[in-house]
Amino acid sequence: MSVTTQAPLDRAQFAREWEDWHRTHEERRADPHGFLAVAALYWIDEEAQPYPGIPGRWHTSDEGPVVELAAGESLRIGDATVTGRHAFGPIAEREGVTVGFDGGVIEVARRGGRDILRPRRPDFPFLGSYAGTPTYVPNPRWRVEARFVRYATPRPHEVGAAVDGLSHVYESPGYLEFELRGETFRLVAFPGHAPGTLNVLFTDATSGLTTYAANRSLSVAEPDAEGRTVVDFNRAVNLPCAYTDFATCPLPPAENRLPVGIEAGEKTPLARAHGIATAQGIEPAGAAS
């Protein structure tokens, strides 16, 4: 693979930039209404029923999730206070809305073709006890040039999830090719959160030893006109399923199981929020325990 030689890195500046990035990432992760505040995961049934710790009776329908609030109960949706019956409308896969209630917020979303509820509480004990995630020391050796090879048309990839019986389908625009220790590797890429960026889900020889067994995630900058970009494994992070049973995170495609040890980025979290993820029998997948 042909690459363009990069200018030498200032190692001190590299370390400072990494520290700033990871501090910001940790602050976002520990937000009072962030994923560490998720106190439960409920899969909504077609029969209206209450769920512990949140107002109303909930069911799913052609109108999407529906809540029926009793007298004295209310939710906050944007600037409006909602009482009585409220239909959220159909929610697209991997989308959701956040509504407020006394005690926190509720994520009303759709995952794996089913509607879900995830209450997030600032007083959730796991959030209060979170002490940070251990990492490898950042090292420029794990920052490598890569070439993005775009498919003629995006290719669908069905991948497993952090709960048994669930799967996700993502459209891949192409793959990243790079070299480590004289060997060439490829990683299937999915669209990133910011326009033009890419996201990679992967495991490697450290998975289940020093890093989380099921997956890690890496954001990759938008490739230039010739497909050139940089894969910086120092910024590999854990997905929510590394911290909690209440996550439905995707697992990496089979092509992204690297046979080498990527001794960079975040390690296995020090603690985990355990719980029953549903009242309907879907349990956390063994690979993500």
> Got the DSSP string for 181-247?
TTEEEEEEEEE-SSTT-EEEEEB-TTBTTTB-SS-EEEEEPPP-TTSEEEEEGGG-B--GGGTBTT-
Q: How far, rounded to the nearest angstrom, does the alpha carbon of residue 245 sit from its chain's CA centroid?
A: 13
Whether residues 165 and 217 share a domain: the answer is yes
Whether residues 115 and 211 share a domain: the answer is no
Rounded CA-CA distance 146/8 in Å is 17
Confidence label for 283 from pLDDT (cuts 50, 70 and 90)? very low
Q: What is the share, in percent, of the chain residues with pLDDT greater than 70?
A: 92
Whether residues 96 and 163 share a domain: the answer is no
Whether residues 25 and 75 share a domain: the answer is no
The 10s digit of each residue's pLDDT in 56-70 is 999 999 999 999 999
Decide which of 120, 155, 178 is a domain's last residue: 120
Whether residues 137 and 116 share a domain: the answer is no
Confidence label for 165 from pLDDT (cuts 50, 70 and 90)? confident
Domain range for 56 is 40-120
Q: What is the share, in percent, of the chain residues with pLDDT greater than 90?
A: 87
Confidence label for 287 from pLDDT (cuts 50, 70 and 90)? very low
Decide which of 66, 89, 120 is a domain's last residue: 120
The 10s digit of each residue's pLDDT in 10-34 is 889 999 999 999 999 999 999 999 9
Contacts made by residues 102-108, CB under 8 angstroms, sequence distance 24+: 102/55, 103/53, 104/33, 104/37, 104/39, 105/33, 106/54, 106/75, 107/38, 108/65
Rounded CA-CA distance 281/219 in Å is 33
Is pLDDT above 60 for 284?
A: no
pLDDT at 202: 98
199 assigned to some structural domain = yes
pLDDT at 161: 92
The 10s digit of each residue's pLDDT in 179-234 is 998 999 999 999 999 999 999 999 999 999 999 999 999 999 999 999 999 999 99
Is pLDDT above 70 for 105?
A: yes
Is pLDDT above 90 for 289?
A: no
Decide which of 54, 89, 120 is a domain's last residue: 120
Whether residues 253 and 136 share a domain: the answer is yes
Whether residues 188 and 152 share a domain: the answer is yes
15 assigned to some structural domain = yes
- How many other CB atoms sit within 10 Å of the CB of residue 124? 20
Mean pLDDT of 250-261: 96
Whether residues 74 and 212 share a domain: the answer is no
Whether residues 82 and 140 share a domain: the answer is no
Length of the chain: 289
The 10s digit of each residue's pLDDT in 82-91 is 999 999 999 9
pLDDT at 7: 58
Q: How many domains does the chain have?
A: 2
Mean pLDDT of 270-284: 61
Mean pLDDT of 232-255: 96
Whether residues 91 and 154 share a domain: the answer is no
pLDDT at 276: 53
Predicted TM-score (pTM) of this structure: 0.88
